[in-house]
A and B are shown apart, each in its own frame.
Chain A
Amino acid sequence: RAMELPPGRVPAGRVAAVAAGFVRFQRGGPARALALRALRGVRAQDIKDVGHKYYLDLELEDVLDKDSTVNCTAEVLYHLGNKNIAPDVQFTLERELKSTEEADHMFYTRIRSLEKELVAENIPDSHGHVPPELEPLHLLAWVASGYVTWQNSTENTQLQLAQIKHVKQVKRSDEYLQFDYVVLLHEMVSQEMIPWEMTVLWHPQDGVQVTRESRQPRH
């Protein structure tokens, strides 16, 4: 089976996480976050003087609608040499995703109409619970973390959003919604919980942007 890569290679799950994070970021919003349901197949290729390329067959699921899955093929290229360059990721989804226009619009108008800027902490809470009105903020963080994972993962690290410690809305004069997050990212290999700040912008017509992200010192 083309499932396990030969020793010395990056474990397949690690590459899949980067690909899934990238797709989640590209296609996500406060009403949609795609998660990795299963890794169907993986193939590795060494490109001389360039890097390691992986071809992946993924099954993704919509976190809000677990029965709805979508197949995805992706290519991830880790560059040789400079470890500060994010891997190149390309993907194709086998079908179009359901529109989230209505939910997006509802979230957008609700936040715009708030008098005081929204502030929240510890999402999910210790028991994994997220109050329904904060779920869009949870998804937004998770989508944005897909970007952070993609930008900061190497062949030896695997980052995953563990929890939102703090989120604050920042009102803007333009049409965008802005949320400043402090999240904890779990790094699988070292098992560390790394605080990370991210500034996330969103507009229904525009998708998610991470305009600033920076790793924080622990404690």
Chain B
Amino acid sequence: DQVLCIVPESIQQVQHLQHLCSTLLLDLWNPLMPEDIRAGEELHVRVPAPLLPEVKHSLDQHMISYRVLVPDVQELVDKSMPRERSKQSQGREGYDYTQYHSMKEIYQWMTEIQQNYSELVTKPFLGMTFENRPMYYLQISQPSNKPKKIIWMDCGIHAREWISPAFCQWFVKEILQNYKSDPKISRFLQNLDLYVLPVLNIDGYIYSWETNRLWRKNRTPYQNGSCYGTDLNRNFNSSWGSIGVSFNCTSDVFCGSGPESEPETRAVAQFIRMKKSDIVCYLTIHSYGQLILTPYGSTTKPPSNNEELMQVGQKAAAALKGKYGTSYKVGPPSLILYNNSGSSRDWTHMIGIPLSYTFELRDNGTYGFVLPANQIQPTCEETM
């Protein structure tokens, strides 16, 4: 459908246009009624696609000049109504980003994404989980002859926080669908590479789908199989085991048998250690709580670049709030949440990555971990 802009120059032209609009029942945008069409005044009319040739021919025949105001009405409609089932919630692959997906679907999605956007995406292997499942991340890197710095983002370190992997998938989709048309994203990719790990705790995630929706840890057995799972976000080598943990493996904050005792932790830590001089920002996505957490959780002593961390964090919270009014608090967990040690965010900052953040997404406890799927879209949009 197109919207045409016409300026009739004579009474005959006005009459002809009035006739055209009435017989074809065209959608007048301006003026609203055919009887208000005036010579010398702009007329805006939407013409359905099948009628376009006929209308344009008729205008030409009567020597009525026109120009195309809106070349594609549907495109405008889609852009202005993101909540409709449009390109926003479905990918090129027909993937529904507004629903939660099983690990099997996520593996498939990763393969398809890499194939569909192979000009910038690779799917490198990171390591194996305890239950022997492969961990892959997506590397989004625009080919260039200059070396680029890296932003790392991981999701799903805690099994029950389903909104987190949903966000990673949404994020990848947004970047890839818009990198050619959105100048901000395209500039971003000229200077930075994005490494996204959609599900870090794969075994736990699957367990939360199949057995216990509210499971948190991974699935390593301890004490001869009498209890399972380490809290991977207490298992990193940052003041490991010092505070906010339990050494009892039945606890949901069991920190493991030692720093990096878990294969998932090791896989991520080894990789980040190797790349640390190129990583400028580390993001780890959790739920719930609506918080942007800065280092540290294990001590109230502020990190060396605390001001910068807080400034960037506050800007992020403000931008987030601007979208749907959702309020996020910014600060170190030791002050606004609870003390904890062995977190990935603390560890990455301690080894030298300057900007390290934990995002705790929606909500504030109303649904908590069991966030309804209809909140995926607004949560992801505001966090983008």
Interface contact A192-B366, CB-CB below 8 Å: no
Contact of B364 among A11, A35, A125, A127 (CB under 8 A): A35
| Nearest chain A CB to B223 CB, angstrom units | 14
B251 touches A11 (CB 8 A): no
| Cβ contact within 8 Å between A128 and B375 | yes
Are A4 and B366 in touch, CB under 8 angstroms?
no
How far apart are B206's CB and chain A's nearest CB, in angstroms? 13
User: Is A191 part of the contact surface with B, judged by Cβ < 8 Å?
Assistant: yes
Does A186 contact B368, Cβ atoms closer than 8 Å? yes
User: Out of B231, B250, B336, which one reaches A13, CB within 8 Å?
Assistant: B336
Q: Within the assembled complex, what's the spacing in Å between the Cα atoms of A167 and B372?
A: 20
Question: Judging by beta carbons under 8 Å apart, are B216 and A7 in contact?
Answer: no
Whether the pair B252, A13 counts as a contact (CB closer than 8 A) is: no
Flag whether B327 is at the interface (Cβ < 8 A): yes
Taking the nearest CB of chain B, how far is it from the CB of A89, in angstroms? 17
Residues of A contacting B246 with CB < 8 Å? Answer: 190
CB–CB A35/B100 < 8 A:
no
Partner of B373 from A12, A127, A160 at Cβ < 8 Å: A127
Nearest chain B CB to A150 CB, angstrom units: 14
For the complex, would chain B's binding face be called helix, strand, loop or mixed by DSSP majority? loop
- Smallest CB separation, A181 vs chain B (Å): 16
Partner of A160, one of B327, B331, B365, B374: B365
Partner of A124, one of B216, B231, B289, B370: B370
| Set of chain A residues within 8 Å of B336, measured between Cβ atoms | 4, 11-13
Most buried by B among A128, A163, A184, A186: A128
Interface centre among B208, B251, B252, B375, by most chain A C-beta atoms within 10 angstroms, is B252
Known contacts A17-B365, A36-B365, A192-B251; A128/B216 CB under 8 A: no
- Evaluate whether A126 and B213 lie within 8 angstroms (CB atoms) in the complex, with A7-B335, A13-B329 already known: yes
Is A114 part of the binding interface, using a Cβ–Cβ cutoff of 8 Å? no
In the assembled complex, which residues on chain B have CB atoms less than 8 Å from the CB atom of A218? 250
Interface check A97, CB cutoff 8 A:
no
Contact call B252/A190, Cβ cutoff below 8 A? yes
B128 CB to closest chain A CB (Å) equals: 26
CA distance A193 to B329 in the complex (A): 24
A160 near B368: Cβ-Cβ < 8 Å: yes
CA distance A68 to B355 in the complex (A): 37
Question: Nearest Cβ distance between residue A178 and chain B, in whole angstroms?
Answer: 25
Docked Cα-Cα span, A63 to B331, in Å, equals: 27
Q: Which of B208, B338, B371, B374 has the most CB of A within 10 A?
A: B338
- Collect the chain B residues with CB atoms within 8 Å of residue A193's CB: 214, 252
The residues in A between 61 and 87 inclusive whose CB is less than 8 angstroms from any CB of B are 63
| Contacting residues of chain A (26-41) with chain B, CB-CB under 8 angstroms | 35-38
Contacts A129-B372, A162-B214: A4 and B252 contacting too (C-beta < 8 A)? no
Within 8 A of B (CB), among A152-178: 160-163
Q: Does A189 contact B (CB under 8 A)?
A: yes
Please tell me which one of the listed residues B209, B231, B338, B366 contacts residue A11 in the complex, with CB atoms under 8 A apart.
B338
**What CA separation (Å) do A17 and B337 show in the bound complex?**
12
A188 at the interface (CB under 8 A from B): yes
Q: Which B280-338 residues have C-beta < 8 A from chain A?
A: 289, 300, 327, 329, 331, 334-338
Q: Are B369 and A186 in contact (CB under 8 A)?
A: yes
User: Is B196 an interface residue, CB under 8 A from the partner?
Assistant: no
Residues in chain A near residue B372, CB distance under 8 A: 124, 127-130
Q: A residues touching B (Cβ–Cβ < 8 Å)? A: 3-5, 7, 11-13, 17, 35-38, 63, 122, 124-130, 142, 160-163, 184, 186, 188-193, 218
